[in-house]
Amino acid sequence: MSSRIGSKIRRLKNRMRNASNIFSRLYSRTFHRTSTSAIDNADIDLSRVGNVSVEAIGSSDMESNNVTEMSDLEIRDQYEEWTREYAQRNLKWVEDGVAHEKYVMDEKIDVWHIATEMFIFPALRQLLDDTFPNRTFVNGVEIGCGTVTFFDHVTIENPILVDLAPDYCSFMASRGWNVLNENIENLSIDSDSQDVVVCSETLNVVLSLDAALEEVERILKPDGIFLVNVPWEFTLSEYDGMLGSHLREFNEDNIEEKFSRWDILAREVIPQTVKPNGIPTINLILARSHVSSSN
Ligand SMILES: C[S@@+](CC[C@H](N)C(=O)[O-])C[C@H]1O[C@@H](n2cnc3c(N)ncnc32)[C@H](O)[C@@H]1O
């Protein structure tokens, strides 16, 4: 009984926080929000969400035994809230100079997404050079940037960064980037306008993979390329029921289906062993399939 009351109070608090967030976003720089599509492609049952505190995520005291039933709408509200809380927690660690301790990684790097910066982006740059030697870009968007961007690793004239978490947006804006606080499912970017779109470790956490990929397809020029990093052959069992964390698996059996409207031009697995405390991931270079098939 008391846990049901507790869960109701938590939901009420979340709603109040969401209402105040929506209000502040309406008056902030660039947040656009219209209707969103249904939740799809999640490999876990999102309607049964484990009640895990943000502090516990990634630590040994993680518990997910207190399961809450949620509607699609509640999941979407909760998702934004969790994404925001994650960002605030991670940026606090960056601010306190302890991010490297949490990550068990390089103390010289003053960002949260340390493994991406140290291992994934250099490997992606190499893969890009091997596939398209000397390619430079005019317009590009990186979606779900968090605290790092691949645009630090390539030449590009008009880079835009996008993230759902307002605090990551402020962090990257303070470093001089042009940033949009938007949802990958609903971007304010013109159709057929981008030479490159980058999504690192983001397609595994978005609620709707279909909606995300459709939007990327919309903004990419017909000859543009899509650079992706996702967890690879990594099982979700230890994350089951946690919103804002890994929601789907990518592996040899499903990769073609997940990117069925895309051609995989190049791919490279980054094994877990490369990154201390990391998970295996894959770098992919993709093109819209009707384009490369007509070449
Ligand atoms: C796991 S982090 C990856 C950060 C960084 N790109 C990297 O590779 O390390 C996922 C990022 O995606 C953002 N994100 C999650 N859902 C999103 C959405 N629907 N639209 C835009 N960004 C989203 C999160 O705020 C977070 O910064």
CA of 138 to the centre of ligand 1 (A): 23
DSSP per position, 137-157 = EEEEEEES-TT--GGGSS-EE
Residue 69, SS3 per DSSP: strand
Which ligand 1 atom is nearest residue 84's CA? 25
Residue 198: phi and psi, rounded to 5, are -120, 135
The residue type at 198? V
**What's the start-to-end Cα distance of the chain, in Å?**
64
Best of 32, 83, 282 to mutate for ligand 1, by most ligand atoms within 8 A of CB? 83
CA of 150 to the centre of ligand 1 (A): 13
- Both structure tokens of 193: 């306008």
CA of 11 to the centre of ligand 1 (A): 24
List ligand 1's pocket residues with C-beta within 6 A. Answer: 83, 87, 113, 116, 143-146, 148, 162-165, 168, 183-185, 200-202, 205-206
Which ligand 1 atom is nearest residue 145's CA? 6
Please check whether residue 216 is in contact with residue 20, taking contact to mean a CB–CB distance below 8 angstroms: no
CA of 149 to the centre of ligand 1 (A): 11
Q: What pLDDT does residue 235 have? A: 82
DSSP state for residue 55 in the 8-state scheme:
G
| pLDDT tens digits, one per residue of 262-271 | 999 999 999 9
Q: What pLDDT does residue 279 have? A: 87
Phi-psi region of 222 (alpha: psi -120 to 50; beta: other; left: phi over 0): alpha
Q: Using CA atoms, how far apart are residues 69 and 114, in angstroms rounded to an integer?
A: 34
Residue 233: phi and psi, rounded to 5, are 50, 45
Which ligand 1 atom is nearest residue 83's CA? 25
Which ligand 1 atom is nearest residue 185's CA? 19
Longest dimension (CA), the chain: 64
Q: What pLDDT does residue 53 have? A: 56
Best of 164, 183, 203 to mutate for ligand 1, by most ligand atoms within 8 A of CB? 164
CA of 202 to the centre of ligand 1 (A): 5
DSSP state for residue 116 in the 8-state scheme:
I
Which ligand 1 atom is nearest residue 87's CA? 25
Domains defined for the chain, CATH in brackets: 1-295 (3.40.50.150)
Q: What pLDDT does residue 6 have? A: 44
- Both structure tokens of 41: 């492609």
Q: Tens of pLDDT along the chain (295 residues)?
A: 344 444 444 444 444 433 333 333 333 333 333 334 557 778 777 776 665 555 555 554 445 456 677 788 888 888 898 899 999 999 999 999 999 998 888 888 999 999 999 999 999 999 999 999 989 999 999 999 999 999 999 999 999 999 999 999 999 999 999 999 999 999 999 999 999 999 999 999 999 999 999 999 999 999 999 999 999 998 877 665 566 678 899 999 999 999 999 999 999 999 988 887 788 999 999 999 975 444 4
Q: What pLDDT does residue 147 have? A: 98
